[in-house]
Every structure is written in structure tokens, then in C-alpha cells.
Amino acid sequence: MRTPLKRIRWPGFPASPVDLLRQVGYFALAYVAYRVVRGVVENDGTAAFQHAREVISLERSVHIFVEPAVQTWASGSHTLMAIAGWLYVNAQFTVTVAALLFIYFYRNPVFVTVRNTLLIALGLALIGYYLYPTAPPRFLPEWGFVDSVSDVTGLKMSQSSALFSDFFNPYAAIPSMHIAFALIIGWPLARETKLLLVRALWVLYPLLIAFVIIATGNHFILDTILGVITAALARLLAGWAERAWQTLYKPLTPATSTTG
């Protein structure tokens, strides 16, 4: 059995404030990578729209192109679309960051796994955005899509929007990181809670996000499927990386803390 290494504990912190800053640094580096890729694909709008049409053609060939019908049905209720619109705006950043902070401070033993999975998933997504930039459905009104998020929230989900320019890639439809992030944070939180109702909410959270991203015209069904695959592959790679790290640095790894 490994002997735990002693660490200085700060009140309210699993390790130390420095450790929290290090975790923030990891995500800051990921953001820099995102900005680099964004700058490249923003100048490739022609390819992005062509890829979107290819997605529609593929979905039609396998009879799963139902996104316009879903959006039309959801648009029958202003309340439903308002909830979906605001949830879309907040799910990717606000909910994810809040969940990460909760896991870090209150479920720290699983934090590193969640963090690594998120970062790996983002890395895989950046490859997808670079190789296959794809315009979201809302940019294709000729197929019956509307920008419902802008309509119900008043926020312009576009390249010209100063509010969203730093966090939204206009041609990052494939894969959907909304659904990937929802899976990566939702299911660990479901496992870590003892309250049945809260557990059920986190289990259903990815399904809710899947409905939101399709009903608001921000993703195709194919994007959603590839987002699920991205989350699953990232989890497998994160597990492999953690096992490799423990094998290489087993004598130096604390037994009671996974923050690293």
C-alpha cells in the first residue's frame, strides 16, 4: 500500500490556493488553443457552409433529418423556447464552470478525471473544428431553421457579437461540445450524489442539452452523436493517461488526493 504524502491543507481548499490557480492555468492554455483554431476556421466560411450541407445530405439519406421539425414543434411554445435559449447560452460556460468548482471543492477525488476528460475532449474537438469546420443549422434559413436563441434572448449568437466573440466559434458545429461537456460533468455528478432527485437530474441533463441544441437550431443530430463519441473517447483516454501516470510515478502519488 502506498504511503500518503503529507500536504499543507488550507481551510476550504482540497490542497492549496496555488493548486486551484494551477487548475485554472490548464484551462487557460486550452482557451489559447481554442482561439488559435477559431482564428483559422473563421476565415473558412465557404467550407463551413458546404460541410453543413453535406451533413444535411447525409442525414436525409439515412432519414434522420428531423431538426427543422423539432425546432418548429418547440417554437410553438414561447416559454419552452425561452428556457431552451437561455439554457443554451449558459450550459457551455456557466453550468460547466460551476460544476467544476463544485467538484473541485466538494468531490475532489474525482476532479482530476473530470478535468482531464474535459481537456482531452476539447483537444479532440479542436481537431474536428480545424479539419471539418461546419456552420450550425441556424445559418441555413433556406432549410427552415431560425436563430431562436437570438429571437428569444435578444443576444446575437454571431461573429459580430462582442458578448460571445471570445467563447463561441461560429463554425464549431462538429462535434457538439455542449453535449460532450454535459456528459462529462453530468454523469460523474450523478454518481457522486446521494439524493435521488438530484441524481436523476444530472443523469437526464445530457438528454436535456441534446434537445436544447437541436431545438434552438445550433446543432445537427450528427453533431450530437459525434459529441457523445468525443466524450466517450476522451474518458477512455483520460483513464489510460491516469493509469500510465500512476505506473510511472507511483512512489510520488498521494493516496488520498487526486488533485494534480
Residue 1 pLDDT = 42
Where does residue 109 fall: left (phi above 0), alpha (psi -120 to 50 degrees), or beta otherwise?
alpha
For CA atoms 40, 43, 47, 53, the dihedral sign is positive
23's grid cell: 487548475
User: What are the pLDDT tens digits along the chain (260 aa)?
Assistant: 444 434 445 555 666 778 888 888 888 888 788 767 766 666 668 889 999 999 999 999 999 999 999 999 999 999 999 999 999 988 888 999 999 999 998 888 899 999 999 999 999 998 998 889 999 999 999 999 998 887 777 666 554 444 444 556 678 788 999 999 999 999 999 998 889 999 999 999 999 999 999 999 999 999 999 999 999 999 999 999 888 888 877 655 554 444 55
Q: Where are the alpha helices (DSSP H) in 42-110?
A: 45-61, 67-74, 78-90, 96-106
**Angle made by CA atoms 33, 44, 181, in degrees to the nearest 5:** 45
Place of cell 431538426: 67
**What was the pLDDT predicted at 252?**
53
Q: Which of 29, 10, 62 is nearest to 259 (CA)?
A: 10
| One-letter identity of residue 140 | L
From CA 63, how far away is CA 52, in angstroms rounded? 16
C-alpha dist (Å) from residue 165 to 18, 158, 169: 30, 8, 8
Q: Where are the domains of the chain?
A: 17-252
Q: Which helix (H) or strand (E) holds 246?
A: helix 221-248
Strand partners, 231: none
Q: What is the pTM of this model?
A: 0.83
d(CA 45, CA 42): 6
Q: What are phi and psi of 172, to 5 degrees?
A: -110, 55
The confidence score (pLDDT) of residue 169 equals 64
11-25 burial, b at 16+ Cβ within 10 Å, e below that, comes to eebbbeeebbeebee
Residue 78: strand pairing partners: none
Q: Is the dihedral of CA 185, 191, 194, 200 positive or negative?
A: positive
3-state SS class at 119: helix
C-alpha cell at 187: 454523469
172 pairs with which residues across the strands?
A: 134
